[in-house]
C-alpha cells in the first residue's frame, strides 16, 4: 500500500475577531438584518454608484462565502454562529466567529473577541444572558403557516409575521419597518434586544420595483435593493433615538441567478449564489 499523505492540523490557530463581541453583548442591542437573496455583485455596483446611501454610511461591503445556497440551510448555519465567511478563507480555523458555539467542540478555547454562547443557537445563548429575542419574518420559511415555516420563528422569544411582509407585496419592507418601529416604542427599555429581520423585497418577485418591467432581472434586483436602503434609513434613525447603542450585522444569506450559465434563481451552486455581501457596524 502507498504511504498515507499527511496534512496540517485544520485548527492551527485562533483568529481574533474584528470587534470584541464580549463588549457588545450586555451593553448594546443587536440587529441582525438579512437582505435575503442579495447578490454581491449587485450590492457593490449600487454602492459604487452611490445608490444605497444609507448602507454606504456604514462602510464597504465585504465579499463573503454564503453558508448555504438557499434560505433554509443558510439560516441554520447563521443562527448557530456560522455567519458568511471571508472569500479568502480556505481553512475552518481562519474564519471569523463573532459568536462561538461553545457546545460543539470546534476548538480548545474561545477565539479572542468571540462571544461564547451556550445552547443550540445565538438567540438561545443571548436569551440566557438577558436579551429579549425577536424575529420579524419575510420569506415563507418564517411565515408560521406550515410546520417548516414555524421552525425558525420557534428559536425566538417573540416572532412576528403577517401577509403584508410577504415577497409578492411591493411595500413589504416598509410594512416590516413600520411594525418594528411601533413595537420598539413600547419595548422594555431595561432589557437589551436582539432583533432578526428577514428582508424579502430582493427575493423574487422583484420586477415591480423597476418601472415597466415584465419579469425579474438584475436591474429589478438592484431596484429592490435601492427601495430597501431607503426603508433601512428610517429603521436605523429611529432605532438609535429609541434604543441607543446598537451593533448591526447586515448580510445576504445567498445570491441568485438570472440565467447565467443556464442557472436560474438559487438552491443550486453557482458563484452568483455562493457569493454574498456582508458588513457589521455600530449605529
187-226 residue pLDDT tens: 888 899 999 999 999 999 999 999 999 999 999 999 999 9
pLDDT value at residue 249: 98
Mean pLDDT of 244-252: 96
Who has greater pLDDT, 3 or 202? 202
Span 22-282: which CATH code?
3.40.720.10
Q: Chain-centre distance of CA 78, in angstroms?
A: 8
% pLDDT > 90, the chain: 77
Cell numbers 436569551 correspond to what residue?
127
Mean pLDDT of 14-20: 72
Q: Work out the mean pLDDT of the chain and round it to a whole number.
A: 90
Kindly write down the DSSP assignment for every residue of 171-237, as one continuous string. Answer: THHHHHHHHHHHHHHTS-TTS-EEEEEEE-SSSSP-GGGSTT-SS--HHHHHHHHHHHHHHHHHHHH
Strand locations in the chain (E) = 29-35, 62-65, 85-86, 99-101, 115-117, 132-136, 158-160, 193-199, 246-251, 257-258, 264-265, 275-282
Residue 2 pLDDT level (bands cut at 50, 70, 90): low
pLDDT value at residue 266: 76
Q: What's the Rg (C-alpha) of the chain?
A: 19
Residue 105 pLDDT level (bands cut at 50, 70, 90): low
pLDDT value at residue 42: 97
Please report, for residues 10, 26, 91, 172, 278, the alpha-carbon distance to residue 116 in angstroms, rounded to integers and kept in the order given.
Answer: 21, 13, 20, 34, 21
Mean pLDDT of 217-244: 96
Mean pLDDT of 63-89: 92
Poorest-pLDDT segment among 50-54, 73-77, 106-110, 257-261: 106-110
Q: Is 35 left (phi over 0), alpha (psi -120 to 50) or beta?
A: beta
What residue spans define the domains of the chain?
22-282
* DSSP element (H, E) containing 128: helix 122-128
Q: What is the pTM of this model?
A: 0.91
pLDDT value at residue 135: 97
Q: How far apart are CA 197 and CA 17, in angstroms?
A: 23
On the question of pLDDT at 97 being above 90, the answer is no
pLDDT value at residue 88: 81
Residue 107 pLDDT level (bands cut at 50, 70, 90): low
pLDDT value at residue 6: 46
Mean pLDDT of 112-139: 94
Poorest-pLDDT segment among 102-106, 130-134, 244-248, 272-276: 102-106
Amino acid at each position: 500500500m502507498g504511504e498515507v499523505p499527511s496534512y496540517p492540523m485544520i485548527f492551527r490557530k485562533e483568529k481574533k475577531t474584528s470587534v470584541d463581541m464580549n463588549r457588545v453583548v450586555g451593553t448594546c442591542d443587536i440587529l441582525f438584518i438579512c437582505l435575503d437573496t442579495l447578490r454581491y455583485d449587485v450590492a457593490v455596483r449600487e454602492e459604487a454608484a452611490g445608490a444605497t446611501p444609507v448602507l454606504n454610511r456604514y462602510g464597504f461591503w465585504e465579499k463573503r462565502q454564503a453558508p448555504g445556497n438557499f434560505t433554509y440551510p443558510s439560516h441554520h448555519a447563521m443562527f448557530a454562529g456560522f455567519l458568511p465567511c471571508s472569500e479568502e478563507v480556505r481553512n475552518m480555523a481562519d474564519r471569523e466567529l463573532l459568536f462561538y458555539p461553545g457546545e460543539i467542540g470546534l476548538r480548545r478555547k474561545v477565539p479572542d473577541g468571540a462571544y461564547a454562547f451556550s445552547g443550540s443557537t445565538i438567540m438561545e445563548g443571548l436569551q440566557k444572558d438577558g436579551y429579549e429575542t425577536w424575529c420579524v419574518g419575510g420569506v415563507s420559511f418564517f411565515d408560521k403557516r406550515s410546520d417548516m415555516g414555524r421552525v425558525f420563528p420557534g428559536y425566538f422569544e417573540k416572532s412576528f409575521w403577517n401577509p403584508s411582509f410577504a415577497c409578492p407585496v411591493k411595500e413589504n419592507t416598509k410594512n416590516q419597518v413600520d411594525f418594528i418601529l411601533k413595537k420598539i416604542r413600547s419595548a422594555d427599555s431595561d432589557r437589551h434586544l436582539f432583533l432578526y429581520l428577514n428582508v424579502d423585497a430582493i427575493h423574487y418577485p422583484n420586477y415591480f420595483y423597476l418601472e415597466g418591467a415584465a419579469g425579474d432581472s438584475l436591474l429589478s434586483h438592484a431596484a429592490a435593493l435601492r427601495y430597501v436602503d431607503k426603508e433601512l434609513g428610517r429603521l436605523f434613525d429611529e432605532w438609535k433615538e429609541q434604543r441607543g447603542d446598537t451593533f448591526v450585522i447586515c448580510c445576504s444569506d445567498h445570491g441568485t441567478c438570472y440565467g447565467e450559465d443556464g442557472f436560474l434563481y438559487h438552491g443550486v451552486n453557482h458563484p452568483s449564489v455562493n457569493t454574498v455581501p456582508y458588513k457589521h457596524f455600530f449605529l
